[in-house]
Amino acid sequence: MTTTTHDAADVLQLRGIRAGFGSQTIIHGVDLDVAAGKVTGIFGLNGAGKSVLLKVVAGVVPTWSGRIELDGADITRLLPEQRVALGMAHVPQGRQVFPSLSVEQNLRVGAYTLRRRDKRRYDGNLQRVFDTFPRLAERRRQPAGTLSGGEQAMLAVGRALINDPKVVLIDEPSAGLAPAIVEDLLEVLLGVRDLGLTMLLVEQNIRFGLRLTDHACLLQKGRIVYSGATADLDEDRLASYLGVGRLLSHDLATGLGRKPPTPRPRVRRGSTSRPRTTPA
C-alpha cells in the first residue's frame, strides 16, 4: 500500500461538530485532529457517542453544525460515497463483508470509486492486497460468507486498503467477535499500522484499542474529555473517565507503554486459529 504522507500534519480535522437524532443532541461540539501516519482512537462508555461520531465523519449521520475537513477539503456536506471518492475508507462494524459476493468481488466493490477513475491502478492494488494477505488470493473465487472469521477480517481490511485511502475509519472492530478472531484482527491491524496508514478507530474494548493506537481521545456524553498520546494515559486517568477500576489497573500496568517495540513484519501468515493464550 502506498503511504499517503502529507506535509500537513492532520489528514482529518473536525471542528465544533454537533450532531444527534431528532431533538436529542448526542455529539456536543467535538474537535478532533487525526494526524497523518498515526492511529487515533476514540474510547468511551456505551452511549458516549463514539459510534455516532464515527458515523458523522463517514457522512451516514448528518452534521448539525461544525466543519469536517479531509486533507484540507471541506467534506461536511458530502454524501458518504463522495467522501470515499476523496480518500476515506471504512472497516464497518458487524458483518463486515458482503457474504453473497466472492472475495474478489468484495474487493472490486471496495474499489468502486478507484475503478471509476483508474482501472489500471486497481489491478496493481489488487495484487498488493493479495501479496499482503495471500490467504485471500487462495480464496478469491469463494463467497465471502463462507470465509472463517479471521479471513473475513482480512478481507474487510483489504477492501478498505485497495482504494489507497488517506484515512481508514474502523468501527468497533472487536465487537461481537470471538476472542480468537479478535486476536487475528489485531494482528492484521497491527500489520497495517506498520505500513504507515492513517487510521481512526472507535473501540469499546480498551485493551484492544490501547495496543493499536498512538493517540487516544476519551469521549464522555458526546464531549472529548481527554486527548493525548496513548503512552501518556495512566491508569488513574482511565479509571476516572471510564470507570475502569482496580483490577484493570494491573492490566494497564503491564500493558501500557509496552507496545511491540520492533516494527512488525507484514502479516504474512494469515493465521486464523492461533490459540489466544499464545504470548506475542
Partner 1 sequence: MQPIVLGVIAGSIYALIALGIVLVYKGSRVLNFAQAEVGTLSLYATWWVSTKHHQPWALGALASIVAAVGIGLLFERLVIRRMMTAPRVTVAVATIGLFSLMLAIELALFAGTIYTLPAPIAGGGVQVAGVFVSASQWLALGVVIAVALALAAFLRYTDFGLAVQASADDPVAAQLMGTPRGLISAFTWGVAGALSAVAVLLIEPTVGVLAPGAFSGLFIGGLTAALVGGLSSLPGAFVGGLLVGIAEAEVKAHLVLASVPSVQTTAMLVIVLAVLLLRPQGVLGRRA
Partner 2 sequence: MSVAGTRPLPVVPAARSARRSRLSPRTANALTAALLFVALPLMTVHAMPKLLQQHDYLNLDVGVSLAVAALSLNLLLGYAGQISLGHAGLLAAGAFASGIATSRWHLSMVLGFLFAVVISAALALVVGLPALRLRGLYLAIVTVIFGLVMQYSVLRADVFSGGSAGVALPRRLWGDHVSTDNAGYLVAVLLLLLAVWLLDDNVVRTRVGRALRTIRENESVAQSFGIDVVRYKLLAFVLSGALAGLAGAMYGHAIGFVNNESPFNFNLSLQLVIIVIVGGLGHRLAVIIAALFFWVLPSFISGLHAWAYVVGALLLMVTVSQHPDGIADLLTRRRRPPAPAEDEDDELPELPQLPVPVRSHVAAPLSSAVPVLEVEEVVVRFGGLHAVDGATLAVNAGQIVGLIGPNGAGKSTLFNAVSGLVAIERGRIRYRGQEIHQLRSDQRARLGIARSFQQVGLAKDLSVRENFLLAQHQLAAYGDLEALLMLPRAARQEREFRDRTEAAIDALGFGPLADVPVRHLSGGQQRIAEIACLLMTAPDLVMLDEPSAGMAPAAAENLAARLRDLRDVLGRTVLLIEHNVPLVLDTCDHVYVLDAGRLIAAGTPREVAADQRVIDAYFGAAVPA
- The residues binding partner 2 (CB under 8 A) are 23-25, 28, 45-47, 178-179, 182-183, 205, 207-208, 211, 220-221, 240, 242-243, 245-248, 250-251, 254-255, 258, 260, 276-280
Among residues 143, 140, 57, 65, the alpha carbon closest in space to that of 104 is found at 140
110 touching partner 1, by CB under 8 A: yes
Greatest pairwise CA separation for the chain in angstroms: 54
Give which of partner 1, partner 2, none residue 276 binds (C-beta under 5 to 8 Å, depending on kind).
partner 2
Show the binding pattern over residues 131-170: x = contacts partner 1 (CB under 8 A), - = does not. Answer: ----------------------------x---x-------
Cβ atoms of 187 and 199 closer than 8 Å: no
What does each C-alpha distance from 213 to 61, 165, 209, 238, 280 come to in angstroms?
A: 25, 18, 6, 15, 17
> CB under 8 A: which stretch of 40-48, 111-119, 185-193, 201-209 binds partner 1?
111-119
CB of 252 to partner 2, least distance (A): 9
163 binds, options partner 2, partner 1, none, Cβ within 5 to 8 A by partner type:
partner 1
| Closest distance of CB 105 from partner 2, Å | 27
Q: Whose Cβ is closer to partner 1: residue 85's or residue 248's?
A: 85
Considering only CA atoms, give the Rg of the chain: 18
> Which of 80, 77, 104 minimizes the C-alpha distance to 92?
80
Q: How far is the CB of 210 from partner 2 (least distance, A)?
A: 9
Between the two ends of the chain, the Cα-to-Cα distance in Å is 25
Is the Cβ–Cβ distance between 137 and 102 less than 8 Å?
no
Judged by CB, which is closer to partner 2: 10, or 183? 183
Q: Which residues contact 210 (CB under 8 A, 6 or more apart)?
A: 41, 216, 230, 233, 252, 255, 256
> How far, rounded to the nearest angstrom, does the alpha carbon of residue 239 sit from its chain's CA centroid?
24
Extract the C-alpha cell encoding 49: 457517542
What does the binding site for partner 1 look like in residue numbers (CB under 8 A)? 58, 60, 79-81, 84-85, 90, 92, 95-96, 98-101, 105-106, 108-110, 112-113, 115-116, 159, 163
